[in-house]
Amino acid sequence: MKKIWCIGLLLAAVQVRADDVKEETIVSEKHVMTVEADNLVGDVYNLWNVRVINSISLWKDPVFLEKIPKISKHIKYINSIRCLGGKTGGSDEWFQEVDNQGEIICDFSGFIDYVKAQKAAGYIPWIVLDNVPQKMSSQPFNKYGNTSPPDDFDLWFRYVQKFLTALVDEFGLEEVSSWRYRVGTEPDLFPGHWSGTKEEYFKHYDYTVAALESIIKDPWIGPGNMLMWNGSQKGQKGGRWGFDILKHCAEGTNYYTGKIGTKIDYYSQSVYAMSPHPFLYEENMQKVRAELAKYPSIKDIDCEIHEYGELNECLSRGEAVSNTEFFAGLYAHTVDVAYRYNVRRIYNWDQHMGTIYGVEQIVPGLFDPWMNVMDCLAVMEGGQRVNVLKDAQKQLKFGTIAAWKNDDLYLLVYSHHDNAKQASENNIALTLVGDRIARENRWSIDEQLLDQHNGVFIHQLYKDIEAAGIPAKETKFYLQRNIGARYGEENMEGVIEVITKNLKKYQEMGEMKSVKAAEKIDTVNGIIELNLDFHGSALRFIRLSPAE
pLDDT higher than 90, residue 390: yes
pLDDT of 38 reads: 99
Separation CA 447–CA 467 (nearest Å) = 34
| CB neighbour list of residue 530: distance below 8 Å, 6 or more residues apart | 429, 430, 431, 432, 542
pLDDT of 6 reads: 38
pLDDT of 7 reads: 33
What do you get for the CA distance between the two ends of the chain, in Å?
A: 80
Model confidence pLDDT, tens digit, residues 367-382: 999 999 999 999 999 9
Under the banding of pLDDT at 50, 70 and 90, the label for residue 14 is very low
Query: 10 Å Cβ neighbour count for 195?
Result: 21
Under the banding of pLDDT at 50, 70 and 90, the label for residue 239 is low
pLDDT higher than 60, residue 480: no
pLDDT of 13 reads: 37
109-127 average pLDDT score? 98
pLDDT higher than 70, residue 538: yes
pLDDT of 311 reads: 87
68-95 average pLDDT score? 93
Look at 165 and 473; give whichever has higher pLDDT.
Answer: 165
Decide the pairing of beta strands 408-416 and 538-546. Answer: antiparallel
CA atoms within 13 A on the CB side of 404: 18
pLDDT of 23 reads: 45
Strand partners, 345: 304
428-447 average pLDDT score? 98
pLDDT of 354 reads: 81
pLDDT of 488 reads: 81
Helix and strand totals (H; E) in the chain = 16, 20
Question: Which amino acid makes up residue 172?
Answer: G
Query: 10 Å Cβ neighbour count for 358?
Result: 15
Model confidence pLDDT, tens digit, residues 28-53: 999 999 999 999 999 999 999 999 99
pLDDT of 51 reads: 97
Work out the burial of residue 187: count CB atoms within 10 Å of its CB; fewer than 13 is exposed, 13-18 middle, 19 or more buried. Answer: buried
Average pLDDT, the chain: 91
Q: Where are the domains of the chain?
A: 26-42+386-454+511-546
273-283 average pLDDT score? 95
CB 513 within 8 Å of CB 454: yes
Name which of 130-134, 143-147, 183-187, 202-206 the model is least confident about. 143-147
CATH class, range 26-42+386-454+511-546: mainly beta
CB 264 within 8 Å of CB 249: yes
- Reference 196, options 236, 149, 153, 156; nearest CA is 149
pLDDT higher than 80, residue 11: no
Under the banding of pLDDT at 50, 70 and 90, the label for residue 476 is low
pLDDT of 230 reads: 77
CB 244 within 8 Å of CB 291: no
pLDDT higher than 70, residue 10: no
312-324 average pLDDT score? 79
pLDDT of 482 reads: 60
128-154 average pLDDT score? 92
CA atoms within 13 A on the CB side of 344: 8
Look at 191 and 417; give whichever has higher pLDDT.
Answer: 417
CB 401 within 8 Å of CB 386: no
- Reference 414, options 398, 401, 425, 429; nearest CA is 398
pLDDT of 24 reads: 63
Query: 10 Å Cβ neighbour count for 530?
Result: 19
Work out the burial of residue 416: count CB atoms within 10 Å of its CB; fewer than 13 is exposed, 13-18 middle, 19 or more buried. Answer: buried
Say what the pTM is.
0.93
Model confidence pLDDT, tens digit, residues 52-78: 998 899 999 999 999 999 999 999 999
pLDDT of 5 reads: 37
In the chain, pLDDT over 90 holds for what percent of residues?
A: 81
Separation CA 344–CA 129 (nearest Å) = 21
* DSSP assignment letter at 412: E
pLDDT of 359 reads: 82
